[in-house]
Structure 1
Amino acid sequence: MSKTKVAVVKCLPLAGNASFMGGKFIREEDDVSKIKATVAKAVELAIGSLDVIIKPGQTVLIKPNLAFQAPAESHAVVDPRVVEAVVSYVKENSQASEVWIGDNPSLGMHVGRAKPAFAESGMEDAARRGGVDKVIYFDETEVVEVEIPEAKVFKKAAVFKPVMDADVVINLPKLKVHLAGTVTLGLKNWNGIIPNMHPSAQQQGAHRIDLGPKFADLYRVRKADLTIVDAIIGMEGQGPHAGTPVEMNLIIAGTDTVATDAVSAYIMGFDPIEIPAIRCTANEGLGEMDLEKIEVVGEPADAVRRHFGRPNDNPIGMYKGFTVYAQQTCPGCYANVRGALDSFKNTGINMTEFISKKGEVVVAAGGLPDFDPEFAKDKNLFVVGDCWEYFPTSDNIRQAINVAKSVTYYPGCAPVYIFAQLNADLQKMAKAE
């Protein structure tokens, strides 16, 4: 049996990278041409020709990583140059009847829906320059109820209809690390095929320790026909939103998303089994993660490998005056509270000045057997989710609520929306007179 192929191709130096890494995106025509040539080589090495997956008259959906409303300079979203290059390449080198691009930010209800996110990221303009036939804002379309046979935690899904309607789907993730998933690549990019319902709904319910199995289950809904990883400028550190850009100048491509993610993760300095989404999906028999069973073509993985700085999901003791109690919470809220605090700091807030003017902050999540309610006295208390009510120590939280200076509640199961909403509420508090 032949091995699964994953192509790794090095792009020629890009003139716009220096300014982009420095915080200003400048589109250079020659850069787009170089990336397009790199995409072409990667696809041709991986599958030979687009004709292998795209038949005459078929519709093609390109699904990028549009995680949230953010500019290209955040490096949290797919590089607009890569979007333009991929769209243009598919338009010019296939017999597709139409090429679409569509996504839904998984935090869209709190930090921008699809339409403004496509606009701010520069992806919409880039796709139109590439000749795309439709830009589809998934959150403005219908959903299809899908039963997921053999699923472990996500047994039924409301999937955006364009994902099911397209004849061919191209997965276009970005190479970056992630607080909750270790990395975010092709498998995690499938988070955008379902609506963001908050709280305690689809995005939330399996966003705890079940995150890896959730993506394995979602992958059963519909596999990508081709995955192309934007590894031109990756992100290390506190991804997916507060990390540091890393210039890699690579395009990685393959038909097996699991294998493509495994090679990409290895290039980032990880063992693929470290990544929950990869190991869960591979161990369900949905793809290959064993690097010995994957044929890497183009650049040898070891020749381009770099150890990315790893994300730290621990919110405890990070910022003076911001005390987090999370003794018996799930990994979902644990990691996303850290993400919210990182976001707050990275907006340029002077944390010391904030505490001086507004008072100390206490974040309480889950069961807290060692929490003294008096600690919250005259402080700003943020109560995460409602799982604390199921613990024998729930009276600790109730007593704290009675003595706190202010109380902000995050109802339901909160691991996704707390990421954006806690930051937004702290910002609002900072601006209040």
Structure 2
Amino acid sequence: MSKPVVSVVKVEQPKGNAEFMGGKFVRYEEDIKKIKAAVAEAIKLSIGSLDTIIKEGDTVLIKPNLAFQAPPESFAVVDPRTIEAVVSYVKENSKAGKVIVGDNPSLGMHVGRAKPAFKDSKMEEAAKLGGADEVIYFDETDVVPVEIKDAKVFKHATVFKPFLDADVVINLPKMKVHLAGTVTLGLKNWNGIIPNCHPDAQQQGAHRIELGQKMADLYRVRHADLVIVDAVIGMEGQGPHAGTPIEMNLIVAGADTVAVDSVACSIMGFEPMEIPAIRCAGTEGQGEIDLNKIEVVGNSIESVMKHFKRPGGDPIGMYAGLTCAMQQTCPGCHVNVRGALDSFAISGIDMKKFLEKHGEVVVIAGGVPNFEPEFCKDKNVFICGDCWELFPSADKVREGAALAKTVTYYPGCAPVYIFAQLNNDLQKLAAGK
């Protein structure tokens, strides 16, 4: 059996990178050409030709990573230049009958729905400049119930119909780190094929410690025909939303998503087995995880590797005055609270003035056997999830809530939406609303 092929191709230095890294996205025609040339080379080296996956008249769906309603300068979304380059290349070099771009932001109900997210990220404009026949907002389309055969934790999904209807799906993720998933590449990008159902099920279901298994299960719905990783400018640090840009100038491509993710994460300085989604999908045989059994062409991993700063998912002790009581809880609440507090901290808030004016914040999740209810007195308390009520310390939490200045509850397990909502509520508190 032949090895899966993954291509790693350098992009000639884009003119706009310096401005982009400095906080201002500017489109230059020459940059589109440079990225498009790298995309062409990456496809040629990995699968030979688009004709191997696209037949005449096929509907081709390009599924980018539209994580949030965020501008390009957030580096949380796929580079508009890469979107334009990929769409343009597919339009010009295949016999596709229709090329569409579609996605749904993972936290769409709380961080913008698909339509405004496509607009603010400049992905819609880029797709149209590339010649896309249509941009589809998944959250405005029909869904189809799907039983996921051989799934372990995420066995029933409601999947957006355009994703299932397309003849060919091209997965276009961004190279970045992720609080909960360690990295977010091709496998994690499938989280956008299901709707936002908060505070429970779908995006919420199995979004705790077994997130990697959820993504491996969800990948069983349908494997991508081709993966093209946007690694022009990646994100390191507190991804997927509060990290910092890191210039890579690469395109990574291949037909085996697990193999592509394994190579891409290795370029980022991670071992494939460190990444839960890659580990689960790889050991289940959904693709190749062993680098010794993957043919890497173009540039070697070692020649382009940069060690990305790793994300921290623990909120305890991070911010003075924002105290987290989370003695017995799974990583689901940990990472979502950490993401919310990071967002609040980098939003320009003067923390000292905030605490002086509005008082301290206490975030509670899970069991807290050593918790003293008096600690909540005259403070702003935020209680996460449902499981705290199952622990013997539940009465302590209730006593604390009764003494608090304000109390906000976030139901669900794990309440993924607090990634956005806790930050929003803290912002409202800061504004005196």
TM-score (norm: length of structure 2): 0.99
Q: What amino acid is the match of 2:80?
A: P
CA distance in 2, matches of 1:83, 1:356: 46
CA distance in 2, matches of 1:415, 1:281: 25
Given that 1:10 and 1:251 are in contact with CA atoms closer than 8 Å, whether structure 2 keeps it comes out as yes
Q: Who is 2:187 aligned against?
A: 187
Deviation at 1:238, TM superposition (A): 0.3
Given that 2:200 and 2:415 are in contact with CA atoms closer than 8 Å, whether structure 1 keeps it comes out as no
CA distance in 1, matches of 2:101, 2:235: 23
Secondary structure of 1:248's partner?
A: strand
Secondary structure of 1:310's partner?
A: coil
Q: Who is 2:292 aligned against?
A: 292
- Post-superposition Cα deviations, 1:146-167, rounded to whole Å, max 9, x if no partner, equal 0011100000100000010000
Q: What amino acid is the match of 2:269?
A: G
CA distance in 1, matches of 2:313, 2:409: 22
Equivalence map 1:399-418=2 (5 Å): 399-418=399-418
- Post-superposition Cα deviations, 1:299-350, rounded to whole Å, max 9, x if no partner, equal 1110000100000001001111010011111111111100000001111111
Q: Who is 2:427 aligned against?
A: 427
CA distance in 2, matches of 1:305, 1:190: 25
Given that 2:190 and 2:215 are in contact with CA atoms closer than 8 Å, whether structure 1 keeps it comes out as yes
Secondary structure of 1:144's partner?
A: strand
Q: Who is 1:398 aligned against?
A: 398
Secondary structure of 1:243's partner?
A: strand
Given that 1:378 and 1:405 are in contact with CA atoms closer than 8 Å, whether structure 2 keeps it comes out as yes
CA distance in 2, matches of 1:80, 1:227: 17
Equivalence map 1:244-323=2 (5 Å): 244-323=244-323
Tell me which moved more, 405-414 or 316-325. Answer: 405-414
CA distance in 2, matches of 1:300, 1:282: 21
Given that 2:177 and 2:184 are in contact with CA atoms closer than 8 Å, whether structure 1 keeps it comes out as yes
Deviation at 1:413, TM superposition (A): 2.0
Q: What amino acid is the match of 1:131?
A: G
Deviation at 1:230, TM superposition (A): 0.2
Q: Who is 2:385 aligned against?
A: 385
Q: What amino acid is the match of 1:303?
A: S
CA distance in 2, matches of 1:416, 1:18: 34
Q: What amino acid is the match of 2:231?
A: A
Deviation at 1:415, TM superposition (A): 3.3
Tell me which moved more, 243-252 or 409-418. Answer: 409-418
Q: Who is 2:34 aligned against?
A: 34
Q: Who is 2:103 aligned against?
A: 103
- Post-superposition Cα deviations, 1:127-150, rounded to whole Å, max 9, x if no partner, equal 000000010000000001000111
Tell me which moved more, 21-30 or 350-359. Answer: 350-359
Deviation at 1:205, TM superposition (A): 1.4
Given that 1:320 and 1:352 are in contact with CA atoms closer than 8 Å, whether structure 2 keeps it comes out as no
Secondary structure of 1:221's partner?
A: coil
Given that 1:333 and 1:414 are in contact with CA atoms closer than 8 Å, whether structure 2 keeps it comes out as yes
Tell me which moved more, 345-354 or 287-296. Answer: 345-354
Question: Which runs of 5 or more residues in structure 2 are unaligned?
Answer: none
CA distance in 1, matches of 2:414, 2:139: 20
Secondary structure of 1:371's partner?
A: coil
Equivalence map 1:202-213=2 (5 Å): 202-213=202-213
Given that 2:68 and 2:108 are in contact with CA atoms closer than 8 Å, whether structure 1 keeps it comes out as yes
Secondary structure of 2:46's partner?
A: helix
CA distance in 2, matches of 1:106, 1:150: 24
In angstroms, what is the RMSD of aligned CA positions?
0.7
CA distance in 1, matches of 2:162, 2:332: 29
CA distance in 2, matches of 1:60, 1:415: 34
Q: What amino acid is the match of 2:121?
A: S
Q: Does 1:229 align with 2:242?
A: no
Deviation at 1:391, TM superposition (A): 0.8
Equivalence map 1:21-170=2 (5 Å): 21-170=21-170
Q: What amino acid is the match of 1:50?
A: L
CA distance in 1, matches of 2:339, 2:240: 9
Secondary structure of 1:110's partner?
A: coil
Q: Who is 1:9 aligned against?
A: 9
Given that 2:208 and 2:414 are in contact with CA atoms closer than 8 Å, whether structure 1 keeps it comes out as no
- Post-superposition Cα deviations, 1:340-387, rounded to whole Å, max 9, x if no partner, equal 000011111111111111100000001111111110011000001121
Given that 2:386 and 2:411 are in contact with CA atoms closer than 8 Å, whether structure 1 keeps it comes out as yes
CA distance in 2, matches of 1:253, 1:225: 11
Q: What amino acid is the match of 2:204?
A: Q
Q: What amino acid is the match of 1:405?
A: K
Deviation at 1:210, TM superposition (A): 1.2
- Post-superposition Cα deviations, 1:18-75, rounded to whole Å, max 9, x if no partner, equal 0000000000000000000000000000000000000001000000000010000000
Given that 1:208 and 1:415 are in contact with CA atoms closer than 8 Å, whether structure 2 keeps it comes out as no
Question: Which runs of 5 or more residues in structure 1 are unaligned?
Answer: none
Sequence identity (%) = 72
CA distance in 2, matches of 1:415, 1:268: 29
Deviation at 1:393, TM superposition (A): 1.0
Q: Who is 1:20 aligned against?
A: 20
Given that 2:6 and 2:260 are in contact with CA atoms closer than 8 Å, whether structure 1 keeps it comes out as yes
Deviation at 1:432, TM superposition (A): 1.2
